Amino acid sequence: MFLIKDENRLPFQSAVAGVGAGVWAVVEQWTPGDLLGLRMSSAGTRGIPRVVWMDLTSGAAALDQFIDGGNVLRGAAVLNARIGCPVEEWQLHALSEIRVGATEFSELDRRLVTVTQFTTTAGEKFSVPRGFAEKHARGRRVWRMPSQAAHTAGRPDS
């Protein structure tokens, strides 16, 4: 997927451009819908995290790459930026939790489906389906917003 493959990084020259040099990465949305914004970094690093934006549906399907722990989510949000919608009506929703591989019953298909579950900081929950499932699963959490107490103490929430 786009997020962590070496061939999708900015060219090496941009990393050594020096102080004051601006390097821009451009994302163009081709289809109407919501965007998933992720702030991420390599596990164990304290450097500046990268921010990527992608279509919510394809992004939800790619989040299982964070399960192995090689890369870590440092923040996540969903931007409602529908085509034809004025910028003044766009809404940014910070996420408090993301789970991949959970299952839910689909009334439409009358069977279990595998989903990526999202919870906003306002407590709203929604899911993006990924495929069919044979048995129930809670899924794996790949992002949880640190609690305020742990955040102010300077240590991550367990």
1 belongs to a structural domain = no
The count of C-alpha atoms lying within 13 angstroms of the C-alpha of 55, restricted to the half-sphere facing its C-beta, is 11
Residue 37 lies in a domain: yes
pLDDT more than 70, % of the chain:
72
The pLDDT confidence band at residue 29, using thresholds 50, 70 and 90, is low
Alpha carbon dihedral 42, 46, 52, 55, in 10-degree steps, equals 60
In a domain, 88, yes or no: yes
Which domain range does residue 44 map to? 31-153
Burial annotation 114-149 (CB, 10 A radius, 16+ → b, else e): bbbbbbbeeeeeebbbbeebeeeeebeebbbbbeee
pLDDT in tens, 63-114: 988 888 788 888 999 998 877 778 888 889 999 999 999 999 999 989 999 9
For residue 22, being part of any structural domain is answered with: no
| Domain-located, residue 78 | yes
> How many domains are contained in the chain?
1
